[in-house]
Amino acid sequence: MAYFCMNWILLILFTGPAVLGSLVKGTVGQNITVPCFYSVKTTQDITSMCWGRDSCPVSKCYRTIIWTDGWKVTEKYNSRYSLEGNLQKGDVSLTVMNAEEADSGIYCCRVEISGWFNDQTSNHKVVIEKARISTASPHTYTSEQTSAPRSASESSFAITRTWPSVSASEAPQTASGPCSGTSDCLVVTANMQNMSVSFPSQQYSENGLYIGIGLCAVLLAVLILALFL
């Protein structure tokens, strides 16, 4: 029991009241802020502090990043690190510009408070990840018609009009002239000459006229001969 108490006292004396701070996640290329505050009631409470990598040691900061005297930044070991908060009000949050994967790890915030083992320390875990690339397939967008909405029957069925086919013999032809060539005109003329149109009534009347004239001529000849005899 005495051995356990001695180890606990030595642990407090040599490590100080370190507490686990926040977990900060960020993306490569972005700015991240690791929060850290201490109480400032009067200007007498303003004090120096430091940020370092890894867990807080017994004193100071291991692998120091930045120092401030409580009023302004006095030391900076990388231009990507800065204190953007109001130092006079105890806001000593660390800002990391253009974060990289190598910035991942534990960060120590140590605020130096006068007195034995009175420093306020906190360890913060920072995780920097690469930006995720979306693997979703691209969407296909179809343009929408702006005409008036159709009825349900029109939207459900497509009306197809089928015109009857026309054969080559029935298809209308464009008349370019009375004859398409000289030979065609000759054939048409010959056919018209050979074609006769007869009417029955006209043929009968012509035959009767011829017979009557013949009889008259015969009678006239007989009469003349009788006069001379």
Exposure class string for 112-134: b at 16+ Cβ within 10 A, else e: beeeeeebbbbbbebebeeeeee
Q: Which of 47, 61, 130 has the alpha carbon at shortest distance from 92?
A: 47
How far, in whole angstroms, is CA 152 from its chain's centroid?
Answer: 30
Residue 4 has pLDDT above 50, yes or no: no
Provide the pLDDT for residue 122.
97
Q: What is the pLDDT of residue 111?
A: 97
| Strands 49-53 and 64-68, bridge-based pairing | antiparallel
Q: Please tell me which residue, 166 or 130, carries the higher pLDDT value.
A: 130
For residues 132-160, average pLDDT: 48
Mean pLDDT of the 221-225 span: 79
**Quick one: average pLDDT of 77-91?**
95
Domain boundaries 19-129, CATH class? mainly beta
What pLDDT sits at residue 130?
Answer: 92
Q: Give the pLDDT score at 68.
A: 97
Who wins on pLDDT, 218 or 34?
34
Q: Is the pLDDT of residue 109 over 50?
A: yes
Report pTM: 0.53
What pLDDT shows up at residue 205? Answer: 56
Check whether 46 has a pLDDT greater than 70: yes
pLDDT (0 to 100) of residue 43: 94
